[in-house]
Amino acid sequence: MTLIKPFRALRPAPGRAADVLAPPYDVLSSAEARERAKGKPWSFLHVSKAEIDLDPAIDPYDSAVYAKAADNLRRMIDAGVLVRDRAPSYYVYRLTWRGHVETGFAAVASLATYAENRIRKHELTTPAKEDDRVRQIEAVGAQTGPVMLAYPETPAIDALLAGAAKGSPAVDVTADDGVRHELWVVDDEATVAALTLAVDALPALYIADGHHRSAAALRVAETRGNKDGSFLAVLLPEQQMTILDYNRVLRDLNGLNPDDVLREIGHRYTVEPSDGPVRPSRPDEVGMVLGGRWHRLALKAEIAAEAARSADPVARLPVTLLAKNVIEPIFGVTDPRRDKRIDFVGGGRGLEELERLVNSGAAAIAFALYPTEMRDLMAVADAGQIMPPKSTWFEPKLADGMVSHMLD
């Protein structure tokens, strides 16, 4: 059983990609999706967020939403906006964002190897979100959102992709968020075989984003009795991938006043006021907004050294260091998955968003974190452990609608 296989992608017809491509379903609220899809009848949001075509009061998990998604996908196929390739292929997918380039490729990944942990996880899934993806896949008869997989640095794979992407792309679209999406069809048998062998020689692949999509695909395959099932994925080289900070805000100070907070934090960190936003430059450093002012926190040397010596890869993560030394002991937040006093702000919103939340009174305190590094994510997955919630925010995002995998 190989790790990956080529597939017959359902994708935008020539000249239609700009009409179709949309942000991933899970980065927009229903209201945001409705606004983004205005005047765009072929936007893939009509499939991935089909509630936008129904009464705004409808529950996004209502059965009517999944039925509407299926209707909308069929409408796009019948109108020739989406077409399915005749030959199984790989698809070089290049993302360009703020001068940074990531070049990977779309494939379908083996669910058997996923179950055997050659495709490794680092997150827990929640039943409600898993159920949602199961119902979506079953309703539309396709996997429409790719799982983002990382592969360890492998120059041979990178060279194959570079060679396959020398000609004009089948898709070249710059989305309204400034991300350029390019796609090349790789149907040459020799290149397809070489990519399959090169990936199969890897010790493992790593789920970067899309744990619910892969888990749902496994459930659907098991229900269908399909032992050779697969899930839609885009494989990207780990050294090119970008993880942004995933920051924390707290709604209250747990009964403390700002001076109390500074004193408590001072037991574990050196604290320096700053005249402007603080972007941490290393894992044991934190930026903090409190009382209308930024502060730079640096974990005291002996505590940082103890964490660095730990054999536990989770213990070394920036999010863990903040949780264990500040959020848990000072603010009493021990279950960030359920505690309503904590919220999470993706780094794409900028440090200014943290300042805005505190100054507006929506949050009492905010913390800017150093981003998780890919090597740490892979170490956690290799150890069979789970990262704390909201540890990674990948940018740029893959587009929904670029390639879909039809279930035959």
Q: What is the pLDDT of residues 117-160, one digit of tens each?
A: 999 999 988 889 999 999 999 999 999 999 999 999 999 999 99
Instruction: Name the strand (E) or helix (H) holding 190.
Output: helix 189-200
Residue of 352, 371, 346, 369 whose CA lies nearest to 297: 369
Q: What is the rounded end-to-end Cα distance, in angstroms, of the chain?
A: 19
Residue 297 confidence (pLDDT) = 98
For residue 337, is pLDDT > 90? no
Residue 126 confidence (pLDDT) = 87
Give the CA dihedral 14, 18, 20, 24, nearest 10 degrees: 130
pLDDT mean over 228-256: 96
pLDDT mean over 301-328: 95
Residue 343 confidence (pLDDT) = 95
- In DSSP notation, 93-148 reads EEEEETTEEEEEEEEEEEHHHHHTTSEE------HHHHHHHHHHHHHHTEE-S-EE
Model pLDDT for residues 80-107, shown as the tens digit of each residue: 999 999 999 999 999 999 999 999 999 9
SS3 for 34? helix
Residue of 321, 333, 316 whose CA lies nearest to 377: 316
- Separation of alpha carbons 319 and 393, rounded Å: 12
Residue of 229, 89, 205 whose CA lies nearest to 147: 205
Mean predicted lDDT score pLDDT of the chain:
96
Residue intervals in the chain for CATH 3.90.1530.10: 4-242+395-406
For residue 228, is pLDDT > 90? no
Model pLDDT for residues 254-313, shown as the tens digit of each residue: 999 999 999 999 999 999 999 999 999 999 999 999 999 999 999 999 999 999 899 999
Class of domain 4-242+395-406: alpha beta
Residue 312 confidence (pLDDT) = 94
- Separation of alpha carbons 407 and 398, rounded Å: 21
In this structure, how many other beta carbons lie within 10 angstroms of the beta carbon of residue 184? Answer: 22
